[in-house]
Amino acid sequence: MRLAELSERSGVSTATIKYYLREGLLPPGRQVNTTTAEYDEEHLRRLRLVRAMIQVGRVPVAKVREVLGHVDDDSLGRSIRLGAALWALPQVPEPDDDDEYVRAAHQEVDKLLDELGWENAKQLTTVSPAYRSLVVAVAAFRRLGYEWGAELLAPYAELMYRTAVLDLDNMETYPSEPEQVEFAILGAILNEPVKQALHRMAQEEESIRRYGLE
């Protein structure tokens, strides 16, 4: 397809597509003559991913380029590609390990991983942003006087594990590995609001079931 059709099918203006091409976020089309290039379905898919990261996820252009570099690096195994791409997305600040609440949170999260038998996640604690986010969040609760620890977290972790199984099952319905990795990135950006909204609606439903509307 020509640039105009790519623009129409993606809903992204031709000016923006040209900008993405210049920034290397979209691979160049196949040059048909000096003024015309031809684009295919892979360009359309990539364009949608880039737009989701920039417009919905508010990921900076340099980060988008880094994420795409991991997506396209087929020298890596699938777990590493998934991890590298997701880890390049915006992150929480580093926990302050001198803080007593942070130290307590570290202990509780490590205990949680032991109790759950998440052996793989345990090997990643020094590098995983998710581990660091959890420590920061648990420390925030503890600083407010709430004793969030392994025992209270475990049932939530089990439900989130089942959610992750659903995520990967859905991802595997896509035929190729690049499509799967792209879907995982989109999921990380777009699924959070879906799950958060479903969670709030479930709270409303259950709250009214328990307490009525009186």
User: Quick check: 159 binds a second copy (CB under 8 A)?
Assistant: yes
Q: How far is the CB of 201 from a second copy (least distance, A)?
A: 4
Report the site for a second copy in 5-64 (rule: CB under 8 A).
11, 48, 51-52, 56
Structure tokens at 150: 């392994």
- The neighbouring-strand residues paired with 30 are 38
List 24, 77, 94, 99, residue binding a second copy (CB under 8 A): 77
Q: Which is nearer to a second copy, 33 or 126 (CB)?
A: 126
Contact string (CB under 8 A) for a second copy, positions 88-127, x = contact: ----x-------------------------x-xx--x---
Q: Using the rule CB under 8 A, which residue among 63, 136, 178, 179 binds a second copy?
A: 136
152 binding a second copy? (CB under 8 A): yes
Q: Which 161-200 residues touch a second copy, going by CB under 8 A?
A: 161-168, 170, 186, 188, 190, 192-200
Min CB(17)–a second copy separation in Å: 15
Toward a second copy, which CB reaches closer, 21 or 153? 153
Residue whose CB is less far from a second copy, 32 or 99 = 99
In the complex, least distance from residue 138 CB atom to a second copy, rounded to whole angstroms: 7
Position 68 contacts a second copy (CB under 8 A) = no
Spell 92-122 as b/e; 16+ CB within 10 A means b. Answer: eeebeeeeebbebbbebbeebbeebeeeebe
CB of 157 to a second copy, least distance (A): 5
